[in-house]
Structure 1
């Protein structure tokens, strides 16, 4: 009997990444066209930043953010209510053995990018970068 391959590494496999991107595109297209019949989603522009799949591809976590970041909780609840309808639509667009269960989460990557940008723009970091560019020893280096 052949040994079953189990992914135990820290990150997703190429297959998970590929399927996640296919799902992201399909969900984005469905939301952009306004195919879901939910009044809380009607006329809203929703960004699908990323879709992460479980190793068996049966669960897909969809990271979304409404335009302007307003009413995120309302949008996530509306998407969760429409999960069955969206799942059927996605299964017609993406050929998979199983249509994955969709779970929706707020996309916080934009907040993380803003925090990183603020940190990089801080006086301390700018001072250290300037000192390093001038050839002076950085504070943690002995020269």
Structure 2
């Protein structure tokens, strides 16, 4: 009996992951080599952290961040102006029926990691962690 993929609450398929990684690598290489005819992008060093692809492979959302996080809004604007040319480069690198529409979003992973580190470094949290460790050392298994 076949399963209905849309009813499952699992993550992306292997194909989505493969296509997303290929798009990420292609975008990274194109931006690194400066193959886009946009002087603003040529002057920036942009990291493509992840690309998530829709289940039908028609939309690819690229999570990007300029090196050092400076000029993020300008980088997004420059990427959006060069969307067509970037899509062309992605299409050349792939063997899909359709070239996916590219969408660019700021990658907030590093900001979330910093916030988590600050939270864990808070003295109240450290005190609670130490208290929990002391309770576990009492010999109770429960």
TM-score range, shorter chain: 0.7 to 0.9
The number of residues matched between the two structures is 136
Normalised by the size of structure 1, how large is the TM-score?
0.86
TM-score (norm 2): 0.87
Partner of 1:58: 58
SS at match of 1:56: coil
1:140 corresponding residue in structure 2: none
Q: Which moved more, 1:36-45 or 1:51-60?
A: 36-45
**Number of the residue aligned with 1:108:** 108
Runs of 4+ aligned structure 1 residues displaced above 6 Å come to none
Unaligned runs of 5+ in 2: none
Contact 1:16 1:54 in 2 (8 A): yes
Cα RMSD for the two superposed structures: 2.0
Q: Per residue, is there more helix in 1 or in 2? A: 2
Report Cα offsets for 1:81-128 as digits up to 9, x if no partner: 111111111111122221100011111111111111111111111112
SS for the counterpart of 1:7 is helix
Q: Which runs of 5+ in 1 are unaligned?
A: 138-142
Provide the C-alpha distance between the structure 1 equivalents of 2:94 and 2:125, rounded to a whole number of angstroms. Answer: 46
CA distance in 1, matches of 2:77, 2:112: 23
2:80, 2:94 → 1: CA distance?
Answer: 20
